[in-house]
Amino acid sequence: AAKAPLLSVRGVSAYYGSIRALKNVDVEVNEGEIVALIGANGAGKSTLMMTIFGQPQAREGTITFAGQDITRLPTHEIARLNLAQSPEGRRIFSRMTVRENLQMGAAVNGGKHFAEDLERMCTLFPRLRERIDQRGGTMSGGEQQMLAIARALMSRPRLLMLDEPSLGLAPLVVKQIFSTVRELNRTEGLTVFIVEQNAYHALKLAHRGYVMVTGAVTMSGTGQALLDDPQVKAAYLEGG
């Protein structure tokens, strides 16, 4: 029988007050996959990410992670599970140094393997090694994004969730970050769920993708199939 997905979102609806921001959303992420969710500004991509973390909580539907129903778990308990998030806007600890930020990431799993994982992150993102004692808030946008991803990886997550990692970054930096994610997937089998407005890069990276329009998933397929789809091209790839 097919293995159950690592993350499964089934029939999920979520609200801000009386506004239904997610409408009956179905998304699955299998172990070892990179899955992208694309969509325009305000489509609800970040809301789905946040709903997986319990804020806002799904009002309808079911969210399971690694076989556990997490739909009604409080956010702090979801944060203790083996899924790590690099949120939109990076939200690193700006007054802490790079090293201290990475320590916070490691603390989620008790700080075991800290030295080893710190070394790994510095190899993956050499810029972080150069800036290890610099305060996070004084780093460039691209450096902060790398730090946010590295911090998430320090917990050795089974699922890495990335919210708009390309936001505000120069194309070269975006390429670097995406190629690092691809490498982690290929060499370590890291499972990744990525939310992106930059549809071209996200679909190039992903094995599978979903398109979200005003809170509902309207299309899904392999990354390549979506890249080739005339509707996707017209709506998200023209001029990109």
Under the rule (CB under 6 A), what is the footprint of ligand ATP?
Answer: 16, 19, 21, 39, 41-47, 197
Quote the least distance from Cβ 39 to ligand ATP, whole Å: 5
Q: How far is the CB of 60 from ligand ATP (least distance, A)?
A: 17
CB contact at 8 A, 86 and 161: yes
DSSP 8-state class, residue 137:
G
CB of residue 37 to ligand ATP, shortest distance in Å:
9
Rank residues 106 and 195 by Cβ distance to ligand ATP and give the closer one. Answer: 195
For ligand ATP, give the closer residue by CB, 126 or 141.
141
Question: Which residue number, 104 or 213, has a Cβ lying nearer to ligand ATP?
Answer: 213
Burial label, 206 (beta-carbon count in 10 A; 0-12, 13-18, 19+) = buried
Look at residue 159 and give its three-state secondary structure: strand
Contact status, residue 211 vs residue 38, Cβ threshold 8 Å = yes
Nearer to ligand ATP, 19 or 115 (CB): 19
Cβ proximity to ligand ATP: between 185 and 197 the closer is: 197
User: Which CB, 14 or 108, lies closer to ligand ATP?
Assistant: 14
171: cis peptide before it, omega within 30°? Answer: no
Strand order across the 216-222 sheet: 83-86, 159-163, 191-196, 34-39, 208-213, 216-222
Compute the least distance from the CB of residue 189 to ligand ATP, in Å.
27
Contact, 88 vs 45, CB < 8 A? no
Closest distance of CB 21 from ligand ATP, Å: 4
Q: Which residue's structure tokens are 């556990």? A: 68
Q: At its nearest, how many Å lie between ligand ATP and the CB of residue 46?
A: 3
CB of 11 to ligand ATP, least distance (A): 18
Give DSSP secondary structure letters for 170-221: -HHHHHHHHHHHHHHHHHH--EEEEEES-HHHHHHH-SEEEEEETTEEEEEE
Is 20 or 207 the residue whose CB approaches ligand ATP more closely? 20
